[in-house]
Protein backbone atom coordinates (compact mmCIF):
# COMPACT_ATOMS: atom_id res chain seq x y z
CA UNK A 1 0.00 0.00 0.00
CA UNK A 2 1.13 3.55 -0.68
CA UNK A 3 0.52 4.91 2.83
CA UNK A 4 1.46 2.48 5.61
CA UNK A 5 -0.12 4.74 8.22
CA UNK A 6 -3.48 3.46 6.93
CA UNK A 7 -2.69 -0.23 7.38
CA UNK A 8 -4.65 -0.69 10.65
CA UNK A 9 -8.00 -1.65 9.05
CA UNK A 10 -6.25 -3.99 6.61
CA UNK A 11 -4.36 -5.71 9.43
CA UNK A 12 -7.61 -6.15 11.35
CA UNK A 13 -9.39 -7.60 8.32
CA UNK A 14 -6.45 -9.93 7.58
CA UNK A 15 -6.68 -11.59 11.00
CA UNK A 16 -4.66 -14.79 11.18
CA UNK A 17 -3.49 -14.44 7.56
CA UNK A 18 -1.32 -11.45 8.42
CA UNK A 19 2.36 -12.30 7.97
CA UNK A 20 1.48 -15.85 6.95
CA UNK A 21 -0.20 -15.63 3.54
CA UNK A 22 -0.52 -11.83 3.54
CA UNK A 23 2.35 -9.41 4.01
CA UNK A 24 1.76 -5.66 3.89
CA UNK A 25 4.45 -3.72 2.03
CA UNK A 26 4.78 -0.12 0.99
CA UNK A 27 4.52 0.57 -2.74
CA UNK A 28 3.71 3.63 -4.82
CA UNK A 29 2.55 2.59 -8.31
CA UNK A 30 3.71 5.96 -9.68
CA UNK A 31 7.32 5.39 -8.61
CA UNK A 32 9.50 2.76 -10.30
CA UNK A 33 12.03 2.83 -7.44
CA UNK A 34 9.25 2.11 -4.92
CA UNK A 35 8.02 -0.82 -7.01
CA UNK A 36 11.52 -2.27 -7.41
CA UNK A 37 12.28 -1.87 -3.71
CA UNK A 38 9.07 -3.64 -2.74
CA UNK A 39 9.49 -6.50 -5.22
CA UNK A 40 13.16 -6.94 -4.37
CA UNK A 41 12.25 -7.27 -0.68
CA UNK A 42 10.22 -10.42 -1.40
CA UNK A 43 11.82 -13.86 -1.12
CA UNK A 44 12.99 -14.79 -4.65
CA UNK A 45 10.93 -11.80 -5.89
CA UNK A 46 8.05 -14.27 -6.03
CA UNK A 47 4.58 -12.87 -6.57
CA UNK A 48 1.84 -15.38 -7.33
CA UNK A 49 -1.01 -12.86 -7.53
CA UNK A 50 -0.66 -9.23 -8.56
CA UNK A 51 -3.76 -7.14 -7.82
CA UNK A 52 -3.74 -3.77 -9.55
CA UNK A 53 -6.28 -1.54 -7.84
CA UNK A 54 -4.57 1.85 -7.71
CA UNK A 55 -6.72 4.47 -9.32
CA UNK A 56 -7.97 8.03 -9.20
CA UNK A 57 -11.03 9.67 -10.69
CA UNK A 58 -11.71 12.87 -12.57
CA UNK A 59 -15.13 14.24 -13.26
CA UNK A 60 -16.21 17.45 -14.94
CA UNK A 61 -16.19 19.18 -18.29
CA UNK A 62 -13.00 18.66 -20.26
CA UNK A 63 -12.33 22.38 -20.55
CA UNK A 64 -12.15 22.59 -16.74
CA UNK A 65 -9.39 19.97 -16.47
CA UNK A 66 -5.72 20.87 -16.68
CA UNK A 67 -3.36 18.85 -18.82
CA UNK A 68 -1.15 18.23 -15.77
CA UNK A 69 -4.12 16.77 -13.83
CA UNK A 70 -4.92 14.55 -16.82
CA UNK A 71 -1.32 13.37 -16.95
CA UNK A 72 -1.37 12.58 -13.22
CA UNK A 73 -4.55 10.54 -13.69
CA UNK A 74 -2.97 8.54 -16.54
CA UNK A 75 0.21 8.13 -14.48
CA UNK A 76 -1.78 6.35 -11.79
CA UNK A 77 -4.59 4.62 -13.68
CA UNK A 78 -2.64 3.40 -16.70
CA UNK A 79 1.10 3.76 -16.21
CA UNK A 80 0.92 2.56 -12.59
CA UNK A 81 -0.53 -0.71 -13.86
CA UNK A 82 2.04 -0.90 -16.66
CA UNK A 83 4.94 -0.29 -14.24
CA UNK A 84 3.85 -3.13 -11.97
CA UNK A 85 3.22 -5.60 -14.77
CA UNK A 86 6.50 -4.66 -16.44
CA UNK A 87 8.39 -5.34 -13.20
CA UNK A 88 6.69 -8.65 -12.38
CA UNK A 89 5.91 -10.20 -15.76
CA UNK A 90 9.47 -11.47 -16.39
CA UNK A 91 9.45 -13.24 -13.00
CA UNK A 92 6.04 -14.78 -13.67
CA UNK A 93 7.23 -15.93 -17.10
CA UNK A 94 10.28 -17.58 -15.53
CA UNK A 95 8.18 -19.38 -12.92
CA UNK A 96 5.59 -20.24 -15.61
CA UNK A 97 2.73 -19.21 -13.36
CA UNK A 98 0.94 -16.26 -11.87
CA UNK A 99 -2.29 -14.31 -11.80
CA UNK A 100 -2.71 -10.65 -12.72
CA UNK A 101 -5.93 -9.11 -11.44
CA UNK A 102 -6.90 -5.66 -12.68
CA UNK A 103 -9.57 -3.44 -11.20
CA UNK A 104 -10.90 -1.39 -14.08
CA UNK A 105 -14.28 0.21 -14.72
CA UNK A 106 -17.32 -0.09 -16.91
CA UNK A 107 -16.11 3.27 -18.22
CA UNK A 108 -13.32 1.34 -19.92
CA UNK A 109 -16.01 -0.11 -22.16
CA UNK A 110 -18.45 2.79 -22.43
CA UNK A 111 -17.85 6.48 -21.84
CA UNK A 112 -19.99 8.55 -19.49
CA UNK A 113 -20.84 12.24 -19.46
CA UNK A 114 -18.10 14.41 -17.89
CA UNK A 115 -15.79 11.41 -17.44
CA UNK A 116 -13.82 11.86 -20.67
CA UNK A 117 -10.29 11.57 -19.30
CA UNK A 118 -11.11 8.91 -16.69
CA UNK A 119 -12.84 6.85 -19.39
CA UNK A 120 -9.86 7.28 -21.70
CA UNK A 121 -7.52 5.96 -18.99
CA UNK A 122 -9.75 2.93 -18.42
CA UNK A 123 -10.07 2.26 -22.18
CA UNK A 124 -6.26 2.22 -22.23
CA UNK A 125 -6.25 -0.28 -19.34
CA UNK A 126 -8.74 -2.52 -21.16
CA UNK A 127 -6.74 -2.50 -24.39
CA UNK A 128 -3.47 -3.15 -22.58
CA UNK A 129 -4.92 -6.06 -20.62
CA UNK A 130 -6.64 -7.65 -23.62
CA UNK A 131 -3.35 -7.66 -25.51
CA UNK A 132 -1.32 -8.76 -22.48
CA UNK A 133 -3.67 -11.70 -21.84
CA UNK A 134 -2.77 -13.22 -25.22
CA UNK A 135 0.95 -13.15 -24.38
CA UNK A 136 0.56 -14.18 -20.75
CA UNK A 137 -1.50 -17.25 -21.62
CA UNK A 138 1.56 -18.74 -23.32
CA UNK A 139 3.37 -18.67 -19.97
CA UNK A 140 0.52 -20.06 -17.85
CA UNK A 141 -0.21 -16.61 -16.45
CA UNK A 142 -3.88 -15.91 -15.97
Active centre residues (catalytic):
118
Alpha helix (H) residue ranges in the chain: 8-14, 32-40, 67-74, 81-95, 116-137
Report d(CA 22, CA 31) in Å as an integer: 22
Alpha carbon 67 to chain centroid, angstroms: 22
DSSP one-letter code for 139: T
Please state at what angle helix 81-95 crosses helix 32-40, rounded to 10 degrees.
Answer: 30
Amino acid sequence: MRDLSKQGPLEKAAGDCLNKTLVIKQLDACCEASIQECVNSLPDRRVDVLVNNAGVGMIGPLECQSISAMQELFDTNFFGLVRLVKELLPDMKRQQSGHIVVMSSVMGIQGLLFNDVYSASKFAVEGFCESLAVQAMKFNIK
